[in-house]
Structure 1
Amino acid sequence: MPSITFYNGTSLLKKIEATKGRTILATAKQGRVALRHKCGGKASCLTCKVTIPNQSAVSAPEPKEARKLGESNLEKGLRLSCQTRVYGDIEAVIPEDPYKARIRALLEQARQE
């Protein structure tokens, strides 16, 4: 049975056993890993992005996903978790929430002043 190891940046979040052929988003929900999403897996909101450094054990991007993300993002390992199916052990890096990142940057700037 494949597994997904979720990271938030470099911090390990959780390792979850996945059903072969299931999406990363569905597996994250099952394992209670907080992964932002809004559209219910239809590839329209683009909020469920993850970075997958080694994509040898996941499905190839469908045309809809490739069109939404663009070739340069796909080359960097960025994928939509709602569209990416797992067939072996993988690592998925969840990006920092943009609002939290902005707040963190503002707090850091205030501390330096």
Structure 2
Amino acid sequence: MAVVLFNQEENKRTEVKIHNGHTILRAAKQGRVALKHKCGGKASCTTCKVEIKDQANISPPLPIEEMRLGEENIKNGFRLSCQTKVYGKVEVKMPEDPFKARIRELLKQQEK
């Protein structure tokens, strides 16, 4: 069994157990973690991008990921959750919702 620990906004953490070789996106669906995805796991939209600092227990980046995300993003730990297979314990940082980020930014500006 593999384990995916999803680090979400506002310090919310969800741990999901999956079979070895399943993708991070599948773990999110199984654990009812709200990980955005539009293309159904075909690596064509990049909305399921996540950050993984320790990549020891995951599959290496596929050429499609390198094409979609770019070499620099891959080097910085970003991966497509629909293409990344898990083979142990993995900690995943989920992106902040863009609408919430914009609202937070506007509220900071109002405080000034």
TM-score (norm 2): 0.95
Question: What residue is the counterpart of 2:52 in the other structure?
Answer: 52
Rounded Cα–Cα distance in structure 2 between residues aligned with 1:14 and 1:6: 5
State the Cα distance separating 1:9 from its structure 2 match. Answer: 5.3
5+ residue gaps, structure 2: none
Question: What residue is the counterpart of 1:94 in the other structure?
Answer: 94
In the TM superposition, structure 1's runs of 4+ consecutive aligned residues that sit over 4 Å from their partners are none
Distance 1:8 1:48, change over 3 A: same
Secondary structure in 2 matching 1:84: coil
State the Cα distance separating 1:95 from its structure 2 match. Answer: 1.0
Q: Is the 8 Å Cα contact of residues 14 and 33 (structure 1) preserved in structure 2?
A: yes
TM-score (norm 1): 0.94
Aligned ranges for residues 1-113 of structure 1 at < 5 Å?
1-8=1-8, 11-112=11-112
5+ residue gaps, structure 1: none
Rounded Cα–Cα distance in structure 1 between residues aligned with 2:2 and 2:40: 23
- Computed over aligned residues only, the root mean square deviation of the Cα atoms, in angstroms, reads 1.2
Rounded Cα–Cα distance in structure 2 between residues aligned with 1:13 and 1:72: 27
Structure 1 vs Structure 2: percent identity of aligned residues?
A: 54
1:15-42, Cα deviation, whole Å (9 max, x unpaired): 1111110000011001000101100001
Aligned partner of 2:29: which letter? K
State the Cα distance separating 1:52 from its structure 2 match. Answer: 0.5
